[in-house]
Structure 1
Amino acid sequence: MNYQVDIFQKFDQGWALLTAGTPDHFNTMTVSWGAMGTIWGKPAVTVYVRQSRYTLEFMNSYDTFTISFFPEQYKKDLGILGSRSGRDGDKIALTKLKPKAIGNAVTFEQAETTLVCKKMYCQFMDLDAMPKAVQEQYYSDHDVHYLFIGEVTDLIEEDR
């Protein structure tokens, strides 16, 4: 993957799975907003989770999370995982994806790239600090995001 050019499109157009929890108890959700860079001298990824999402409970309870990117052929599966809640049942069973443990974190066998991250920072996003147009377009229901920054502790790329 050419991170100089491609990484900005990976979240927006390719989507990814954000997974938090342990191999025995986890949840995953599709994300299309994210950023990569450095903070406090460490490689970092930033992701956003709405307060209504089941995954937020896992992000708040565990110190490690993964961001997994997939080949285009799995976009339908990512769509399913982004439109259903793990609160309501085993949404992973509705997909072709197979969970895979990485230490005490979780990715998927089909992922082509996985970022293993250690949670560094979490902040509820302040509506009053946003432009009115952003509030109206994305937060008319007041389902505001939490921002999570994680240190990238491992990068796993599968040869396909």
Structure 2
Amino acid sequence: MDHKVSFTMDIFEQFDKKWALLTAGSMEKFNTMTVSWGGLGTLWGKPVATVYVRQSRYTHEFMDNGEYFTVSFYPESCRKILGVLGSKSGREMDKMKDSGLTPEKAGETVTFQEAEVTLVCRKLFRQTLDSANIPADIVNQYYEGQADHDMYIGEVVDILR
């Protein structure tokens, strides 16, 4: 990664209020989903992005099977599209067909031309969040009868604008 690239944003606002797209796979076969849980930081001396994916999500298969993924951020004008991409499954429909987004190659994986910023990440780590280690009120709110999340940490190897 070119460490001279400057990247600034209110990351708390970006993930929680504006959302992002997590995309994994190749141009031939990929899936994308909206994520509102994530973070950026430094781990093992590397710039990293962390995302969380329910084990029941179709994108989870692509995350497990691939070495790279992207986290991409969009203008407010794309919010409705991100809402649809976060509520429909790529197992049951072609989410990209009606999204209006234009897929494009990003290193070994995929992003979209409409993105304001794309982080290209190489997967470094995956772990299932253990509900025994999460406060009961959070388990009750987010996991009652639902699939667990896996946490993925990826080294940010490129930043595309």
TM-score range, shorter chain: over 0.9
> Aligned residue for 2:50?
46
Cα RMSD after superposing both structures = 1.2
Conserved? CA contact 2:107–2:120, under 8 Å:
no
- Between the aligned partners of 1:130 and 1:70, the Cα distance in structure 2 is 31
Q: Give the SS at the match of 2:115.
A: coil
TM-score by length of 1: 0.94
Contact persistence 1:71–1:112 (CA under 8 A):
yes
Aligned residue in 1 for 2:136: 132
2:70 is aligned, of 66, 73, 95, to 66
More helix, by proportion: 1
Paired residues in the alignment total 156
The 1-side partners of 2:146 and 2:133 are apart by 14
Q: Which moved more, 1:137-146 or 1:25-34?
A: 137-146
What amino acid maps onto 2:78 in structure 1?
A: Y
CA 1:102 to 1:2, structure 2 compared with 1: closer, same or farther past 3 Å? Answer: closer
Q: Match of 1:78? A: 82
Match of 1:89 in 2: 93
**Percent identity of equivalent pairs:** 53
Which of residues 14, 39, 48 is equivalent to 1:35? 39
Query: Per-residue displacement from partner, 1:6-38 (whole Å, max 9, x unpaired)?
Result: 122111111000000001110000000001000
Q: Which runs of 5+ in 2 are unaligned?
A: 1-5
Does the 8 A contact of 1:80 with 1:94 survive in 2?
no
SS of aligned partner of 2:132 = helix
Q: Which runs of 5+ in 1 are unaligned?
A: none
Other-structure match for 2:3: none
Detail structure 1 runs of 4+ shifted over 2 Å in the superposition.
none
TM-score, reference length from structure 2 = 0.94
